[in-house]
């Protein structure tokens, strides 16, 4: 087989890149290690920056998003019972949209099938070859048969545990990592959200987040030790702990019910440099991870897609390689800003095991400054809704 761009990974970043390139007339083949059903069973965050919404519209996959997405003009920050609002509309005039990542991925798969884009599921033993040459290729096994795809470029959109990043030699890449000493216990429940907007709560007992997927599907999180297991948390125990961490008004109106999904996710910050080696480009979690506090994971992947899509389009349509040559530099410049914001949000809202009395007072002072200072609120709003590409 031959194509212009091989995309490793059939998650939202790989699918979005494939749809944008397809619209530009650039041929792609997507290789995914799992089945479509497996990919769509992953539960992920669902806060979309306007930049990602615009990319989905450009790829002609935003019809359902525009009908069903919840436009949010602000968010609530709580410190014990002191609650204040960050007004996105007032501060920056740009909203975010709440629309589940699973739904984004479903829309992208439906669009790819409708346009005849080629996706190879259950592609095992994927290996990248000669990525520093002018003739890279990818090999894999499908149904017990070895197969090969020759191509011009390879986009590694295969996540933190994928093969793409590992293809870059260790003496070439530099990795930066911070592992946080806690995780998030998250549940999904068929209950109405406790509030029309998200509530980020800092309490003496630890962090909590009240979010939603739609009017009858809510997503809630509480900070928990890394040693906890899902089996340690009954539904009743979760709801009681959540009520202790959120403002009394929200706790009194919270509607509880059986959870339909429950999981614990560790938190880490991670960046690899460079994001490009020869004709291989890294996108999304293959190159960087952020803690979910700032809602930047999927959105930062989308910014990578933006830079790589325009670089490849300029190469094929305008015979310009400037975007290809500067992809890693431009992508990383925005990645590090998203990392900083996610790190700041995580430090602002969580309790740390070794946190001293002084550390706690500094955290409370930071929250009070954010509550009372319009410039601080504008800075948070600018970062939360998404910095420009």
**Catalytic residue check, 384:** yes
- Mapped onto helix, strand or coil, the DSSP state of residue 128 is strand
pLDDT digits (tens, 9 = 90+) for 346-363: 999 999 999 999 999 999
Q: Where are the domains of the chain?
A: 5-72+96-177+268-346, 180-267+353-385
* Residue 25, Ramachandran bin (φ over 0: left; ψ between -120 and 50: alpha; else beta): left
Q: Which residues contact 362 (CB under 8 A, 6 or more apart)?
A: none
For 190-214, b where at least 16 C-beta lie within 10 A, e where not — what string?
Answer: ebbbbbebbbbbbbeebbbbbbbbb
Q: Which of 136, 221, 292, 313 is catalytic?
A: 292
Distance CA 369, CA 375 (A): 10
pTM over the 0.85 mark = yes
Q: Which pLDDT score, from 0 to 100, does residue 341 have?
A: 98
Average pLDDT, the chain: 96
Confidence of residue 215 (pLDDT cuts 50, 70, 90): confident
What average pLDDT score do residues 148-168 get? 97
Q: Which residues does residue 344 pair with via DSSP β-bridges, in sequence order? A: none
Residue 131 pLDDT > 70, yes or no?
yes
pLDDT digits (tens, 9 = 90+) for 17-70: 999 999 999 999 999 999 999 998 876 768 999 999 999 999 999 999 999 999
Residue 181's alpha-carbon distances to 164, 184, 225, 237, 343, in angstroms, are 28, 11, 7, 22, 13
The answer to whether residues 200 and 76 touch, using CB atoms and an 8 Å cutoff, is: yes
Going by CATH, does the domain composed of 180-267+353-385 fall within 3.40.50.10490? no
Q: Which of 99, 153, 180, 200 is catalytic?
A: 200
Q: Which of 109, 220, 307, 384 is catalytic?
A: 384
pLDDT digits (tens, 9 = 90+) for 321-341: 999 999 999 999 999 999 999
CA 320 to chain centre: 30
**Catalytic residue check, 72:** yes
Distance CA 350, CA 345 (A): 9
Percent with pLDDT over 70 in the chain: 99
The answer to whether residues 51 and 302 touch, using CB atoms and an 8 Å cutoff, is: yes
Q: Which pLDDT score, from 0 to 100, does residue 140 have?
A: 98
DSSP class of 2:
B
Q: Which of 99, 153, 247, 296 is catalytic?
A: 296
Q: Which of 72, 288, 315, 350 is catalytic?
A: 72
**Catalytic residue check, 296:** yes
CATH of domain 5-72+96-177+268-346: 3.50.50.60
Residue 214 pLDDT > 90, yes or no?
no
Q: Which pLDDT score, from 0 to 100, does residue 43 have?
A: 66
Q: Which pLDDT score, from 0 to 100, does residue 166 have?
A: 97
């Amino acid at each position: 087989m031959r194509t212009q761009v091989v995309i490793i990974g059939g998650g939202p970043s790989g699918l979005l890149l494939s749809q944008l390139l397809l619209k530009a007339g650039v041929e792609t083949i997507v290789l995914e290690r799992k089945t479509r059903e497996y990919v769509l069973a992953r539960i992920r965050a669902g806060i979309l920056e306007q930049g990602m919404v615009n990319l989905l519209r450009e790829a002609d996959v935003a019809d359902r998003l525009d009908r069903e997405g919840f436009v949010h003009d602000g968010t609530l920050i709580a410190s014990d019972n002191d609650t204040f609002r960050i007004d996105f509309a007032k501060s920056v005039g740009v909203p975010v949209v709440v629309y589940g990542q699973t739904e984004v991925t479903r829309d992208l798969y439906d669009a790819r099938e409708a346009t005849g884009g080629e996706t190879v599921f259950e592609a095992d033993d994927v290996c990248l070859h000669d990525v520093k040459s002018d003739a890279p290729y990818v090999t894999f096994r499908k149904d017990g048969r070895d197969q090969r795809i020759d191509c011009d470029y390879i986009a590694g959109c295969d996540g933190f545990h994928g093969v793409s990043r590992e293809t870059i030699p260790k003496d070439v890449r530099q990795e930066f990592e911070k592992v946080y000493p806690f995780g998030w216990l998250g549940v999904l429940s068929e209950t109405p959200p406790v509030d029309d907007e998200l509530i980020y709560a800092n309490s003496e007992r630890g962090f909590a987040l009240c979010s939603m997927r739609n009017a009858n599907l809510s997503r809630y999180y509480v900070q928990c030790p890394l040693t906890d297991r899902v089996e340690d948390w009954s539904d009743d125990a979760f709801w009681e702990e959540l009520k202790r961490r959120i403002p009394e008004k929200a706790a009194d109106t919270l509607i509880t019910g059986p959870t339909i999904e429950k999981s614990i996710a560790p938190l880490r910050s991670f960046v690899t440099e460079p994001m490009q080696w020869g004709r291989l480009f890294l996108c999304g979690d293959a190159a960087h991870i952020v803690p979910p506090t700032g809602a930047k994971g999927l959105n930062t992947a989308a910014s990578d897609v933006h830079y790589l899509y325009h670089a490849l389009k300029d190469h094929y349509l305008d015979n310009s390689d400037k975007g290809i040559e500067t992809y890693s530099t431009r992508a990383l410049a925005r990645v590090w800003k998203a990392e900083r914001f996610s790190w700041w949000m995580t430090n602002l809202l969580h309790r740390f095991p070794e946190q001293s009395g002084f550390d706690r007072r500094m955290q409370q002072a930071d929250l009070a400054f954010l509550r009372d200072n319009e410039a601080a609120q504008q800075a948070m709003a600018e970062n939360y809704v998404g910095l420009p590409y």
